[in-house]
Amino acid sequence: MIGWDSSDVGAPDPLRTIGVAIPIPDPYGTELQRWRESFGDPLARSIPTHITLLPPTPVSAAALGSIERHLREVAVTERAFPIRLYGTGTFRPVSPVVFVSLAEGAGSCAQVERKVRSGPLWRSPRFPYHPHVTVAHDLADEVLDRAGKELGHYEARFPVWGFSLYEHGSDGVWRPQRDFPFGADGPGSPESGSPESG
């Protein structure tokens, strides 16, 4: 993955919208993205399949260096852990979202989320943290019902090697900017050529 281009910070402190997430590796990431597209979700192609650690957050370009240092410090203290996705859930009526649930790994995700959401990225959460993989968002109730039913027995297992920093582009697409492998660039990260990294 690429890092922040130093030429980007020459402007007078522009704002960037960033997020931090655990990427869902292929074949599951692509598979769930196709499911999301099949439900007619217009965001399907704009958002890589993921588990959110930090939701969309505006930050100044000048802060990006300290944010990356913070994320490296968080990642080096963590170790790989397994995730098992199984079944679906929803945030309705609070939010029109259907998601694939975490049957294993939610506690580890919450531990990493607390560390990410500290230091230069501290923010008071709007809702209690609930790790999940969105598969349908802001669609008609009957479509959300169908998504919940059709993926009701979906299952996937994979190890989590680390997390990634994403930026929201002017075209509305979220793109990964840098990976932060757990430990000291140990096995399981994309840099080590793990097939699970997608």
Query: pLDDT, tens digit, for every residue of 49-105?
Result: 999 999 999 999 999 999 999 999 999 999 999 999 999 999 999 999 999 999 999
The pLDDT of residue 7: 39
The pLDDT of residue 14: 85
Q: Torsion-angle region of residue 18: left (phi > 0), alpha (psi -120 to 50) or beta?
A: beta
The pLDDT of residue 13: 67
- Examine the pLDDT at 4 and tell me if it is beyond 50: no
Determine how many CB atoms are found less than 10 A away from the CB of residue 26. Answer: 15
Q: Is the dihedral of CA 113, 115, 121, 123 positive or negative?
A: positive
- Strand pairing class (174-181; 162-168): antiparallel
Identity of the residue numbered 52: T
Mean pLDDT in residue range 120-130: 91
